[in-house]
Amino acid sequence: MRKTELLIPASSLEVLKIAVMFGADAVYIGGEAFGLRAKAKNFSLEEMKEGIEFAHDHDVKVYVTANILAHNYDLEGARAYFKELKELKPDGLIIADPGMFTLAKEICPEIDVHISTQANNTNYETYRFWERLGATRVVSARELSIKEIKEIREHISDKMEIETFVHGAMCISYSGRCLLSNYFTGRDANQGACTHPCRWKYAVVEESRPGEYFPVYENERGTYIFNSKDLCMIEHIPDLIDAGIDSLKIEGRMKTALYVATVARTYRKALDDYAQSPEKYQENMPWYLDQISNCTYRQFTTGFFYGKPTEETQIYDSNTYVKEYTYLGIVGEKNEQGLYRTEQRNKFSVGEMIEVMKPNGRNVEVTVKAIYDEEGNSMESCPHPKQVLYINLGMELDQYDILRRSEN
């Protein structure tokens, strides 16, 4: 059986380390240019070097996005960028544009090239085409069904890998090639500057009745013009594996460490449980569903995997128990006084009940015993964003544990 990779996004060096510690087999990141998440924090070359070394020390791969649809003025910068990446030795480059592909193969042929979903990869001849040119992996279009992916697997070589998005935001545009952002705001989604207009509220106006606005909204029937429900395939791991998918990809290169930790840990356990036995996977399904609902309020869908989405698309209804957590920080190193370093992400206070989220699946409720600033001054609370703190939670902690607070 082919080993299935869990591929997790990382918006920063800090998030990369969390992804690695919480179960990723591979992480995908973006540099400061040529990726499709210009608003993400992204990585400087120094951070990329440190991130790749950290991941490799933990036997985790790193793929770097360079998946813009390039214009002429991008090419010289891309050439220089690939020369820099050649020295950093990531495990793969994610590319959509044939010109960028050509430059990558010319400058750093030793680095695998993965073809981005932006290239509209909807059939097995496309996979064969890219393999002949030297690509080692193709990311399937989000519009493909399980049946279609399985058919692709049957018609391509064993060496060619299939990567598929299985969790996260679903772009309404075909394979993510959005025109709305550029039209409305002048910010090109295909150059990494998407403003997510598919998330805005809209009304329809009929031309003969100006001023009469008909709202476009989500209702209990589940049919929407701009459908931005989140993809979630945690209940369908067996079908994904049976289809021959090599890499299960999580969307979210602009998400927090808490989101990444939650999704990575949940899918990691689901994959490991299923590998151990299908029965164990089914037994633990309530835990997966509870955990995965902690990081989002959006309703879930299975997208196109079981046919074109309709009003019957599978979603969680309003009766589903959904927790909402606030991200407080990441546990750092322990000092000589037995206190743990952290950098504040949201305010918390002495005496407050919070939760320690561990990579092994445990969630431990604790009471904040003490908070100190860097000078050792005692604090009742920590209201300042990104302030470095030293905390006592009354228990032994591990570096990279996540601190969060339930808002229920």
Residue 341: the pLDDT is 98
Structural domain that includes position 137: 5-178+227-301
Verify that 239 and 340 share a domain, yes or no: no
Domain count, the chain: 2
C-alpha distances in Å from residue 142, one per residue of 93, 119, 137: 20, 11, 15
296-299 contacts, C-beta under 8 A, 24 or more apart: 296/230, 296/259, 297/322, 297/324, 298/228, 298/229, 298/230, 299/229, 299/230
Q: What count of residues does the chain have?
A: 408
Q: How many CB atoms lie within 10 A of CB 206?
A: 9
Verify that 115 and 168 share a domain, yes or no: yes
Verify that 275 and 336 share a domain, yes or no: no
Residue 188 located in a structural domain: no
Residue 316: the pLDDT is 40
Residue 35: the pLDDT is 60
Residue 195 located in a structural domain: no
Q: What is the pTM of this model?
A: 0.85
Give the CATH number of the domain where residue 343 resides. Answer: 2.40.30.10
Residue 373 tokens, joined: 């600033």
Give the CATH number of the domain where residue 255 resides. Answer: 3.20.20.80
Verify that 142 and 100 share a domain, yes or no: yes
Residue 386 located in a structural domain: yes
pLDDT per residue rounded down to tens, the chain (408 residues) = 679 999 999 999 999 999 999 999 999 999 877 765 444 457 899 999 999 999 999 999 999 999 888 999 999 999 999 999 999 999 999 999 999 999 999 999 999 999 999 899 999 999 999 999 999 999 999 889 999 999 999 999 999 999 999 998 876 554 455 656 555 666 665 555 666 666 566 666 667 767 665 555 444 333 344 545 789 999 999 999 999 999 999 998 778 899 999 999 999 999 999 999 999 999 999 999 999 988 755 678 888 899 876 555 544 444 343 557 999 999 999 999 999 999 999 999 999 999 999 999 999 999 999 999 999 999 999 999 999 999 999 999 999 999 999 987
Beta bridge partners of 30: 65
